[in-house]
Amino acid sequence: MAEHHFDGIKIRHLYKIFGPNAAAHVEAVRNGLSKAELNEKFGHVLGLKDISIEMPSGCIQVIMGLSGSGKSTLIRHINRLIDPTAGELLVNGVDVVTMNERELREFRRHQTAMVFQKFALLPHRTVLDNTLYGLEVQGVVRSKAVDIAMRWIERVGLRGFESKYPNQLSGGMQQRVGLARALSNDAPVLLMDEAYSALDPLIRTDMQTVLLDLQKEIKKTIVFITHDLDEALRLGDQIAILRDGEVIQQGTRQDIVLSPADEYVANFVKEVNRGRVVTVEAVMATLPPGQAPSGTMIQAGTTVEEAVRMIATTSESDVAVVVGAGGQALGSVSLRQLASAMVSPSGSAQEPSYS
């Protein structure tokens, strides 16, 4: 992997209005003109309104929303397939909005790679030739391109299929080719637009696992678009929820589940399996002064579901100690606290803390 510092993605006050005279209406939208009014009075469509998101380097940023929320419009701004009406879009400290044609071409070739919902494979090319397509465009020598492509074909589990054509592969296998092609470019930013939405549920879960396993190694800055909350919660280090072109909440998966910003988000998260999202720190009690910690040690960051399993199978007591990365005791947690966190909307059905 290329060893270079990457500064992540910073989107600042991004607006997109579709229509012949878009720039003239930004100020009115800033001052409260609604999407409906903009359409009725001026025949323009509000795509994105005042989007500000910081996407840290090496993390998976999920952009989630229903159809028409603006999520696909947003991801297409990052490699400027769509030009914004106003705002800044910094990738590794450089504003993509101000790039000229040559700079933009180089940026797309070397800084970003995209994985599409419909796979977008070239039907007349084999798995190998689809995978090395981006390297070919960059002018990489064929023998080197083959070496790189084969490494990624193997990494996504397709060794032995490199001579097959797309129509000989299942949907899940085609998506693995799309992922291998994107990774072969070694771009720091990976854009995934509803990449798994066309896949059957089991294959989809399988591909999520492939991505999470790969990310431990590749540490790309991944922007992942989805309309599926379970997928967002499984993949996202950070999640931003869009509605009608606006960000209505952003935070960690735990922020979204434990503190929904409004009824719209609350309705999304009410059926979520909290035990797989909430971590032990959210429900632990602080230790009483002077009390020596005892019981099973559970690492901070462990999910409630996993903690229940650990206490039930390894401990004679129903209380465990939560410890930090350095092994220091942070608090204690009981089976009762963990069980109530799995069913409590607030995640706050705690026993009293001793501070």
Summarised one tens digit per residue, pLDDT across range 190-240 is 999 998 888 888 989 999 999 999 999 999 999 999 998 889 999 999 999
**Cα 153 to Cα 159: distance, rounded to the nearest angstrom:** 6
CA quadruple 298, 301, 303, 304: dihedral sign: positive
Radius of gyration of the chain (CA): 23
Per-residue pLDDT tens over the stretch 70-118 = 999 999 999 999 999 999 999 999 999 999 999 999 999 889 998 887 7
Share of residues in the chain with pLDDT > 70 (%): 94
**Cα 179 to Cα 219: distance, rounded to the nearest angstrom:** 14
Q: Is 70 exceeded by the pLDDT of residue 290?
A: no
pLDDT at 348: 41
Per-residue pLDDT tens over the stretch 174-185 = 999 999 999 998
Q: Which residue type, as a one-letter code, is found at position 89?
A: L
Share of residues in the chain with pLDDT > 90 (%): 55
Joined together, the tokens standing for residue 66 give: 């229903």
pLDDT at 351: 38
Mean pLDDT, all residues of the chain: 88
* SS3 call for 334: strand
Q: Is 60 exceeded by the pLDDT of residue 352?
A: no
Q: Is 80 exceeded by the pLDDT of residue 144?
A: yes
Token pair 């799995």 in the structure block, residue: 342
Give me the domains of the chain, ranges plus CATH numbers.
Answer: 9-111+187-272 (3.40.50.300), 275-343 (3.10.580.10)
pLDDT at 212: 94
* SS3 call for 235: helix
